[in-house]
Amino acid sequence: MSTAPPAPSALAALVELLDLERIELNLFRGKQPDEKRQRVFGGLVAGQALIAAGRTVEARAVHSLHAYFLRPGDPTIPIVYQVERTRDGRSFSTRRVTAIQHGRAIFTLSASFHIEESTFDHQRAMPDVPGPEALVDWQDAMRQVLAERAPQHAREDRHLVAWVDRERPIESRHVELMDYFGGRQEPQASIWIRARGTLPDDPLLHRCVVAYASDMTLLDTAARPHPIQLLSDESENASLDHAMWFHRPFRADEWLLYAQESPNLSGARGLTTGHFYRRDGTLVASVVQEGLFRIRPRAAQMLGSA
């Protein structure tokens, strides 16, 4: 009796999703994960677009990307990535990538690649926070939170339990766990992250995995001071744009501290900045993102009467 091969780990599945199919010169196709999502995860689109750009550049490492999320992606069909070779200079190469579904652009990314150079050096100091060994895995912490919720929430929490239990390619440990049910906290977060397994020795892949992970918690940080229940359907939240700079070498399968801060939320848009540090305190990447925050009409009425 034959048996089906074991399913790949979440990390192996992510690496496979980032291994784009080349359709034609400057044209690539990316598959989507087999998950019941309403929209494509923005970090995956950014990671795939960066892979597409990087496969048209030789002997230069990506140092920055600037992206806009234009439309929600359809998770049931592949995404086509069209690369425009904007410029190849003596030191820098620039690429523009358009992600397309149903004949329309859903995402655009501009990326710049640079030869290896060195001059002066300085950086922001890493925050003084506990190391990952002193912290609880995010999934274990969330399981405890849901277990302690009142019985009247049991029905609405069923899908949250399944969401928390889902295998993830990125392991994370929060210095201060976010209150996803509308608590008020300071708009700051320090999170240790790493790939849940060993990655191949490809610097572009490591940058793409961190670009993927960078979109996971920025909206959360902007929402911390407000009574926004991100895990309910009372609010509409989405990434609007995303910028990232890579400063120094790193491995995405080793612990990185992701220190985030949201300086502003107004006009239904929240801004969050983030910095990635190696364990030795070296700053390796920086991120800025603006996200959309809307309260649905019924929830807005309830908040107004509270």
Question: Hey, which residues are catalytic here?
Answer: 215, 239, 289
Nearest to 109, CA basis, from 86, 89, 91: 86
Query: At CB < 8 A and 24+ separation, what contacts does 97-103 make?
Result: 97/49, 97/50, 97/52, 97/53, 99/45, 99/48, 99/49, 99/73, 101/73, 101/74, 101/77, 102/74, 102/77
Report which DSSP code applies to 9: P
Residue 66 burial class via C-beta count within 10 angstroms: exposed 0-12, middle 13-18, buried 19 and up:
middle
In contact, 273 and 260? CB cutoff 8 Å: yes
21-24/27-30 β-pairing: antiparallel
Cα dihedral 228, 47, 286, 189 sign: positive
CA pair distance 64, 234, nearest whole angstrom? 35
In contact, 106 and 71? CB cutoff 8 Å: yes
CA pair distance 108, 82, nearest whole angstrom? 10
